[in-house]
Structures are given as structure tokens and as C-alpha cells.
Amino acid sequence: MSADVVNLRQFRKSKARSEKEKQADQNRITFGRTKAEKELTRALNEKAEKSLDQGRLDKPEGE
């Protein structure tokens, strides 16, 4: 009939810590790219844009 006694303050703190850790893991996945990965993405985007521009028949009006 007896249950384990739980300190609510400690329980709340441990729950908050686990929530923060989950958020940190998500942020690591979302924002945690290395400099090399960022440069690779930038280079691939520039290459794709350049190859797209090579197929244009006329120049844009801004130039």
C-alpha cells in the first residue's frame, strides 16, 4: 500500500533538464553543421545557379 516518496522539486528539475537536453539535441541536428558542410552547400548552390544562368537566352535587365 505504500508508494515511493518523491521530492517534487527534484522531479520538476530533472524533467526540465531532460526537456532542455531534448531541445539541445534537436538544435544540434538543425544547426550543427561544420564549416566544410556549409561551404559545400554554398558551392553546390553557386554551381547550380551558374549552370542555370548559362542556359539563358537573354541577359537580365539589371546588367
DSSP structure string for 8-41: HHHHHHHHHHHHHHHHHHHHHHHH---HHHHHHH
Say yes or no to pLDDT of 1 above 70: no
Residue type, 11: F
Taking the CA atoms of 40, 45, 46 and 48 in sequence, report the sign of the dihedral they define. Answer: positive
pLDDT at 62: 66
In tens, the pLDDT along 2-40 reads 788 889 999 999 999 999 999 999 999 888 888 999 899
Residue type, 28: R
In tens, the pLDDT along 46-61 reads 999 998 888 777 766 7
pLDDT at 30: 85
3-state secondary structure of 52: helix
